Amino acid sequence: MVLKKKKEIQVDAFLLDHHQVEKLQRFSKDEEQNLASLLLHCAQLRNGIQQIQCIKQIMPLVKQMDHSAADDPMVKACLDILGETYFSLGAKNPLKKVLESSLNGLPGHLMMSAVQSFVCCLGEELKTTDVYLYRKVLDNLASCMEDFSLGTVTSNVFWLNLLSTVLQFLQKSLLGIQEENRQNHGNRIVQTQLMHDLLIAIKVSMMLIQKLQENIQGSLWKHSESFVWRSMCSLLKSSTSFLMDATLLQTVQTTSGLAVILFTRAMYEPVEELPSLISDLLLGTVEHSGVPAWFLRNCGVLCTAQLPDSVRLFLCHGALAMLDWKNGSMGENGEKLLLDIAAVLLSLSSELKESSVATSLSRILAIWTNSALAALVSGSPDLKIKLNGNSDIIGKLLEYVYTHWDHPLDAIRHQTKLIFKNLLQIHQTTIAGSNGKSDPFFARLIKHLLSLDWHVKGKYASLGCLVDCVGTENILQLDRTIPVQILDVMSDQSLAPYASDLLETMFTNHKAHFTLSFQEGSWIDQWHNIWVSPLLEILCEGNHDQTTYIIDYYLPKLLKCNPGSLSYMIKILQASADANLGSSTTRGALGALMACLRTARAHGHLELSNIMSDGLVSTECIKQGLVHQHSQVCMDALGLLCETHRTTEIVSLEEMQLIQFFMMYNLNNQSPSVRQQIVSLLRKLFCRIQESSQVLYKLEQNKTKQELAENSTKMPPLRILQQYKDFMSSVCARLFEVLFPGSSHPTRFSALSILESIAEIFSVPKGQAQVFHLDQEIDSARVQTLIQCFASTFEEVKILAFRLLMKLRDVALNLQDSENLDLLFQAAIDLSTSTKPYDCVTASYLLNFLVYHKGLQHICLGKWLEHNPQMDENTSVSTVEKNTLAVIKLLLVNVEEEIFQAKKSLLQAAALFPMYGRVHCITGALQQLPFNNLTLVSEWKEMVSRLILMSYGLSAVVSPVVQSSSPEGLIPMDSDPESADRLQMILQEIQPQDTNDYFMQTKILKEHCKEESEKLADQRPMKNICMEMRGKDRQVCDVTAQMVLVCCWRSMKEVSLLLGTLCKLLPSQTTSEPSDGLITVEQVGKYF
């Protein structure tokens, strides 16, 4: 289970201006806390969370005031400031919601004073003239009309006082935002912001009109001379304009469609004729003579014969959402409109293909089906006939479903499923009273769906909807093999979720049918034969993918529906387990049993101790699973032991013994995925041991004598804890045992990964009881074993060993005596200049481990570097920083000398001291340091400068080979004089830095050395003729072109990595003034 990181809540604190502060200071009292002093204290806080806590103290204080407080100037001033604060806060600021909640609790005798304050504040807000500040005013208007009791009271009062001002503001905001949007044509960012503001303005207008209908009788404003009426006409005209404007966002057009229908419904009389008007608009058959003049003036563009398709779509949405389809309130005209909307939407479905519009169309069709269901409840017999499953409209809607159920967009697929489900309910409603299960429409649908291929994804959800209508038994009567057919499809992961959902719907419905129709227990065998037996057969003999997906998707749902089926599974599989053990490609009965048991236990349907004590599953059976030749059977058997529904469940002695048995045979698995599963499952087991041990410690601390007597038959907590400790010790012993020199990479990877998990899980804060300490299991031999893992040629093994040593470094370093520490350090220095590339990686990890030793400088570095006593006196310098600086200095001194020698002979450098190893170790050492918290800043500045100069020098030495046009890099030797002549051109091209004659003339290889040596015997020795080098101990080393190539290319790579590390990790100095920066742009910029 992955825990989501808790998102931090950001709360912006509010501030009061100096006038408000002065007002509160006049009323506040030092000797006692009153409302003014509380508000003043709250305003002085700069943390939003603290202000929330302070605001919550307001209501308890206010409720203590008597009725005379309503006339108190202090209370009036505080309510004014609260109102101003409320309207100043952003809509998403949690402070606003807290303030609302607090003000909702105002006592009745203060309500009118608060309303007056809020009306006054709102009036000031409505005077805003800046288009870009309209959004804040609109948000405040919306908040006053939502679930805010004071705002609701305010809205009732300001219908009389502020209504005209609010309507004027809404008109002004709609027109102003539209004009500003037009002037910013082409500025996408500004236009997007303005369109969202316009959307909010339309929504607030709709909210206001709905409140207007609720609070004011129509007779008071439904006349042409009324200011409210004129404002309504203006809002209707603006909404129509937005609806017709295709340049606006689709959400703005959609909302405008809702607004047009809402405003028209509020103004139109008689209301019974409104459905006819909307039908005419959708069909393009409006007769101007029958339409009110005010509608033609404001919505004349909608009365044309050819409305754009998108406008018709949004008008359909508005009609479905804003008209009342229940209780038959719109009569026959409403029923006709419902059918006309369906016809329009179906015609549009073949025209509108753009994804966003197609998504809207599918959603509106789903809304239509809901409206149709609502209308059918009290609809006429004629409507029921026209919406029957055999009708033309339902047929066309089914065609839409078949066409879109596999649409690429999730939203359309979801809406298609909803449409199909609602169509079935519509038909059921039209045939209410008859037997739906034998209905010809359902029978025809079932046969059609079953005739389709099982790879059609839409088939599954549709069949699931039909199961809810007619029942699983009726579908199985047509074909009893349907469960097997669906299970066969589950080898395809893309179909497995759909198939498992359908199977769950079917077997759940089937169980409910049997439960109602038959006596308890008499039906279970039949149910098992249909739903469980095919599953067991496939688990035994199915292919890997099919069984995996069935276990993941189907088996948990089956056990959840009927946990008792597990006993049936165990019985059947146990009977054939000995005869059908499976193979490397099939699970067999034993593998199927392990999978079922693992799934059941992980989902809480099984207690392992119970089935083992009852003899249902033997220990030998689980052991067979743990060493099965099919790797997934092994993992299922291990998962059975490690995965539980409760993380605090006690780990039994039998489980621990089986885990030890598993680790004897499976740590060397060659499959990376299996190794990862092993580590993951064992980690779950260790977590269980850790968490259950904490419960046991608490039980031991809190138990009483009476509890001891009652639990005398149970194992004492201390004995279980001792078993845990012994088990973990034996596990660690086994893991260190398999890390012997020469052990395989899989074995080392598994052992180190498991040890790292143990170190992480059993590391708890000091003072807390701990059942196991890994550091107590560590001795010098085991530390040496981990250090030897650095020699592995696989870097992931080095990484795992290093991480584990870092977790145990206090113990590991204390076990290193001076002699051993010196040997390790000498080995690291020697490996850093090895001709084998992986040796320098080993040296880097070894040095990174040793720098944590406090005595490293005295024991190892003193013989090479001059000791600095001042550094010892500075106790603020960390051990790691001091040691790292000294190690890098030593490596730098060596590599500078080697670069000097390489300038004389690059061949000798490639054979005896390739420089890239030292640079790699320097880079690795730098990556451990916290460069933003260094103490020895001046020393590090000097060191960085030297490192950069060294990088330039090394790059210059190896560049001739790296930049050569020779495809294999350059080395001036060949096997015959003719070929050697051709190298002369390359030598002249690159002009290398060698100061001797290795690059000044071509060389002949050893087979020709004898002849050349005879000619030159009198002149000079042969050491420069044949390509062999003599080291310090005079051993002879043959140099090949590949050795030079590796040396040069790896050196160039390490230089780039070092410079990149310096740029990434070090604080930079961006100005000429002195600072703590360790690197400047100029220093590195020269290289690039």
CB 348 within 8 A of CB 317: no
CB 138 within 8 A of CB 200: yes
CB 1067 within 8 A of CB 1077: yes
**Boundary (domain end) residue, out of 97, 126, 161:** 161
pLDDT band at 701 (very low <50, low <70, confident <90, very high): confident
CA atoms 937, 941, 946, 947: torsion sign? positive
pLDDT digits (tens, 9 = 90+) for 746-803: 999 999 999 999 999 998 666 677 889 898 899 999 999 999 999 998 999 999 999 9
Q: Which residue has the higher pLDDT, 579 or 434?
A: 579
pLDDT digits (tens, 9 = 90+) for 839-895: 999 999 999 999 988 888 777 766 556 556 555 555 667 888 888 998 999 999 999
Tell me phi and psi for residue 92, to 5 degrees.
-95, 0
Q: For tokens 């570097």, what's the residue? A: 865
Residue 557 belongs to some domain of the structure: no
The pLDDT of residue 999 is: 47
- pLDDT reading at 1007 higher than 60: no
Q: Which residue has the higher pLDDT, 144 or 921?
A: 921
Average pLDDT over residues 12-19: 83
**Residue count (the chain):** 1088
Q: Which residues pair with 973 in a beta bridge?
A: 1003
CB 82 within 8 A of CB 117: yes
pLDDT digits (tens, 9 = 90+) for 640-681: 999 999 889 999 999 999 999 999 999 999 999 999 999 999
**Boundary (domain end) residue, out of 161, 190, 216:** 161
Residue 391 belongs to some domain of the structure: no
Average pLDDT over residues 1064-1085: 60
Q: Which amino acid is at 814?
A: N
Q: Which residue has the higher pLDDT, 848 or 934?
A: 848
Average pLDDT over residues 470-496: 92
- pLDDT reading at 980 higher than 70: no
CB atoms within 10 A of CB 672: 10
Instruction: State the total domains in the chain.
Output: 3
What 3-state class would DSSP assign to 267? helix
pLDDT band at 37 (very low <50, low <70, confident <90, very high): confident
Average pLDDT over residues 810-834: 88
pLDDT band at 936 (very low <50, low <70, confident <90, very high): confident
| Tokens (6 digits) for 737 | 């045992």
d(CA 759, CA 807): 7
Pick the closest to residue 86 from 63, 103, 73, 64 (CA basis): 103
For residue 331, is it left (φ>0), alpha (ψ between -120 and 50) or beta? left
The pLDDT of residue 563 is: 92
**Boundary (domain end) residue, out of 769, 795, 815:** 815
Percent of the chain at pLDDT above 70? 84
Q: For tokens 């008209």, what's the residue? A: 323
B/e letters for 360-394, b = 16+ CB within 10 Å, e = fewer, are bbbbbbbbbbbbbbbbbeebeeebbebbbbebebb
The pLDDT of residue 766 is: 66
The pLDDT of residue 1021 is: 37
pLDDT digits (tens, 9 = 90+) for 156-198: 555 556 778 888 899 999 999 999 999 998 898 999 999 999 9
Q: Which residue has the higher pLDDT, 39 or 582?
A: 39
Q: Which residue has the higher pLDDT, 435 or 897?
A: 897
CA atoms 584, 590, 595, 598: torsion sign? negative
pLDDT digits (tens, 9 = 90+) for 201-212: 999 999 988 877
| Tokens (6 digits) for 171 | 């008109």
| Structural domain that includes position 53 | 9-161
What 3-state class would DSSP assign to 578? coil
Whole-angstrom distance between the N-terminal and C-terminal Cα of the chain? 47
The pLDDT of residue 676 is: 95
Q: For tokens 């709905």, what's the residue? A: 210
Residue 1056 belongs to some domain of the structure: yes
pLDDT band at 434 (very low <50, low <70, confident <90, very high): low
The pLDDT of residue 78 is: 87
The pLDDT of residue 40 is: 87
Max alpha carbon distance in the chain (Å)? 130
d(CA 879, CA 854): 6
**Average pLDDT over the chain, rounded to whole?**
83
d(CA 164, CA 184): 30
Q: Which residue has the higher pLDDT, 24 or 1008?
A: 24
Residue 61 belongs to some domain of the structure: yes
What are the CA-CA distances from residue 585 to residues 490, 540, 634, 856 (Å)? 18, 10, 13, 55
d(CA 868, CA 321): 84
Q: Which amino acid is at 516?
A: L
- pLDDT reading at 29 higher than 90: no
d(CA 636, CA 666): 13
Pick the closest to residue 1063 from 1034, 1032, 1033, 1085 (CA basis): 1085
The pLDDT of residue 849 is: 92
* Helices 94-103 & 48-55 angle (0-180, nearest 10): 10
Q: Which amino acid is at 477?
A: Q
The pLDDT of residue 569 is: 93
Q: Which residues pair with 974 in a beta bridge?
A: 1004
pLDDT band at 933 (very low <50, low <70, confident <90, very high): confident
CB 366 within 8 A of CB 419: yes
The pLDDT of residue 1033 is: 46
The structure's pTM equals 0.78
Pick the closest to residue 173 from 208, 214, 211, 132 (CA basis): 132
Least confident of 28-32, 270-274, 946-950: 28-32
Least confident of 26-40, 362-376, 831-845, 975-989: 975-989
Q: For tokens 């051109």, what's the residue? A: 985
d(CA 225, CA 228): 9
DSSP-derived secondary structure for 732-772: HHHHHHTT-TT--HHHHHHHHHHHHHHHHHT---TTS--S-
The pLDDT of residue 30 is: 65
pLDDT band at 457 (very low <50, low <70, confident <90, very high): very high
| Tokens (6 digits) for 227 | 């200011």
Least confident of 134-143, 145-154, 932-941, 960-969: 145-154
CB 401 within 8 A of CB 420: yes
d(CA 95, CA 11): 7
3-state SS track over 844-904: HHHHHHHCCCCCHHHHHHCCCCCCCHHHHHCCCCCHHHHHHHHHHHHHHHHHHHHHHHHHH
**Tally: H helices and E strands in the chain:** 55, 6
pLDDT band at 1018 (very low <50, low <70, confident <90, very high): very low
Average pLDDT over residues 629-641: 94
Helices (H), 524-671: 524-531, 533-541, 544-549, 555-561, 565-577, 588-602, 608-613, 619-626, 631-642, 653-665
Q: For tokens 């701990």, what's the residue? A: 770
Average pLDDT over residues 108-114: 79
CA dihedral of residues 70, 75, 79, 82 (deg, nearest 10):
-150
pLDDT digits (tens, 9 = 90+) for 595-612: 999 999 999 998 888 888
- pLDDT reading at 1032 higher than 70: no
DSSP-derived secondary structure for 497-511: HHHHHHHHHHHHHHH
d(CA 843, CA 829): 7
CA atoms 247, 252, 258, 260: torsion sign? negative
d(CA 597, CA 625): 12
Tell me phi and psi for residue 184, to 5 degrees.
-100, 25
- pLDDT reading at 350 higher than 80: yes
Tell me phi and psi for residue 930, to 5 degrees.
-85, 90
pLDDT digits (tens, 9 = 90+) for 217-271: 555 566 777 788 888 899 999 999 999 999 999 999 999 999 999 999 988 888 8
pLDDT band at 584 (very low <50, low <70, confident <90, very high): confident
